[in-house]
Amino acid sequence: MFKTKIAPSILSCNFLALEDEIKEVEKAGADLIHIDVMDGHFVPNITIGPLFVEHIRRITSLPLDVHLMIENPSAFVDDFIKAGSDIITIHIETDKHILRTIDVIKASGKKAGITLNPATPLNSITYAVKEADLILIMSVNPGFGGQSYISAMDEKVKEAKKMIMDTGREIDLEVDGGVKASNVKKVIDAGANIVVMGTEIFHSGDYAKKIKEVREILGE
């Protein structure tokens, strides 16, 4: 049966107990670990870099889903590849030569993703989508966890799914921002197969119970 991939975002975890937090969501049934890299320029927040990813790689066997919310991402892609990322996702808004960057990522044996902010139209990725392994739809304006899902993104997810289907390739469709148990079904019904969940999991008090609840809502 089709199974949604759940990617807890460590942006919302307790960083003072990072290893325990990651091992707990791994045990609870997470499929990926979502890592938000922010530079304080493209988004109004600063988080972590390649060294941090390298240390996370040592403590989990789950795929590392690394989302680069940074200016000039092509200058840092090699560092994140070496750090142990499994998926590296680049914003269309920050890379003028995104096809070249995708080639670099894929040549290393990693998966390459393209993402776009809520207000960025899908046609901005028309000529790049067929080269990507993953499309990430931001359903909040990036920078901080705990924001509410922007309902207008429902239609964007549906359109992105159609765009993917038109390529004839198997490309993951991921949604990040405000995804909760209360709205996850409509996100999946719109076409996504990966959901990023931050506060919904890490602030739940019981990670296994929350992931089980999501699976039950989706009938999985």
Give catalytic residues, as residue numbers: 36, 176
Q: How far apart are CA 152 and CA 137, in angstroms?
A: 12
Angle formed by the axes of helices 18-28 and 50-59, nearest 10°:
50
Residue type, 17: A
Q: How far apart are CA 185 and CA 190, in angstroms?
A: 8
Coil/strand/helix, residue 147: coil
CA dist list (Å): 163 to 49, 126, 127, 130, 160: 32, 8, 11, 9, 5
